[in-house]
Amino acid sequence: MKQFYLFLILFSLSAQLFSQAEHKPKEEQKKIKIAGVPYVNYSRTVGFSYGLLGAAFYKLNANDTISPSSSTTVAALYSTSESYIAMGIQQFYFAEDRWRAKISGGVGNGNLQVYQNFYAGGTFIDYSTKVKFLLGEVARRVAPDLYVGLSGGIANARTEFDLDLPFTERRPTIDIPINYVGTFIQSDSRNNVNYPNIGHNIMASFKTAGEWLGNESGFNQLELTYDLYKPLKSGRDIFLARYYSISSFGDVPFVGQNTVGGDNIRGYSEGKYRDDQLYSMQAEYRHNFMPKFGMVFFGGFATVVPEISEIFEHEFLPGIGTGVRYLLLPKEKINIGLDVAVGKDDWSLSFRISDAFSR
């Protein structure tokens, strides 16, 4: 389930250079904010990436002063490794933030790598995963700052490994559907979903991808997130602490495994560390030294294990880095920027639109 999100992690939550375009009529400027972002990035796994990303932010009801702005995001990206993705994300906040909904869909191909240990030593094996997906979720506020919701998705992932097996000319291929339904509970006291400086965001999500949904094998996934935001220097600077874990259990397929990297522990881009369960902790300091310019400093660690009982038998992988930010849309508090980070025998470089752990 998590593997076909890898493209969103590699692309949508990283790499953007920027430009901005807005509707010219003054009335439309008040109703909608549009950002057009040329995409340029480099990854040790997918090489140079480039493309376009566009986002629009608007109120569904002009009289609703409580709901955050809804947003529409589209992206079309391509890399020198012939990886690509075309996707759209629609986020709704409405009825004075009593209801929240999100739907995303797209197609993509990721030419990536997985690390395997053999008797003669470890090595990377190239693989290609083609995906098409449609995902959705809806949540209802049932108490102050407390939401409960349902989620679901349909997808197909076809993974082909760059291996030549004896006695056959065909390469190993996994072609499976990944359909799931789930539920989640969220406690969200953030004062802004794009750039909070106070509050918390706590979420527990459970998804099941059983055979009764048309999957070839049945497995489940539990995802836990705890984000805590503390204002510093009269709210101008922010300290963020995060705990994140995602655990796949049951008859977990290759695409249901989890990889160290992305926002949950920056500094890893090779995809070397991979298993059924991932656990991470991270802290970030956001320093705004000018009205529209800032820096971030972050560090943490993560580990991947086949099951939680083995968590202290595997190494904890450190990641540390820094980044710069520019305030692109002041009213929506949308930043763009660049992060650079180092991990154990690895590093990552990410141009990005919006900050880590937002929306």
Which pLDDT value is given to residue 30?
54
Which pLDDT value is given to residue 74?
94
Which pLDDT value is given to residue 4?
37
User: Would you call 103 exposed, middle or buried from its count of C-beta atoms within 10 A (0-12, 13-18, 19+)?
Assistant: middle
Torsion of CA 339, 4, 128, 159, to 10 degrees: 160
Rg, the chain, Cα only: 20
- How far apart (Å, rounded) are the C-alpha atoms in residues 272 and 114? 6
Which pLDDT value is given to residue 14?
36
- Name the strand (E) or helix (H) holding 31: helix 26-31
User: Would you call 277 exposed, middle or buried from its count of C-beta atoms within 10 A (0-12, 13-18, 19+)?
Assistant: buried
Which pLDDT value is given to residue 40?
81
Which pLDDT value is given to residue 45?
86
Which pLDDT value is given to residue 169?
59
Among 25, 176, 44, smallest CA distance to 112 is for: 44
What does 127-159 look like in DSSP terms, one character per residue? EEEEEEEEEEEEEEEEETTEEEEEEEEEEEEEE
Question: How high is the mean pLDDT in each 10-residue block of the chain (359 residues)?
Answer: 39 33 42 82 86 90 94 94 95 97 97 80 88 97 98 95 68 89 97 93 97 92 97 89 96 92 90 94 95 96 94 93 93 89 92 81
Which pLDDT value is given to residue 119?
60
Total H helices, total E strands in the chain: 2, 19
Q: What is the pTM of this model?
A: 0.85
Domain 32-353 has CATH 3.40.50.300: no
Q: What share of the chain is helix, strand, coil (3-state, %, to 5)?
A: 10, 60, 30
How is the chain split into domains, by residue range? 32-353
Which pLDDT value is given to residue 18?
32
SS (H, E, C) 57-68: EECCCCCCCCCC
Which pLDDT value is given to residue 153?
97
Which pLDDT value is given to residue 351?
80
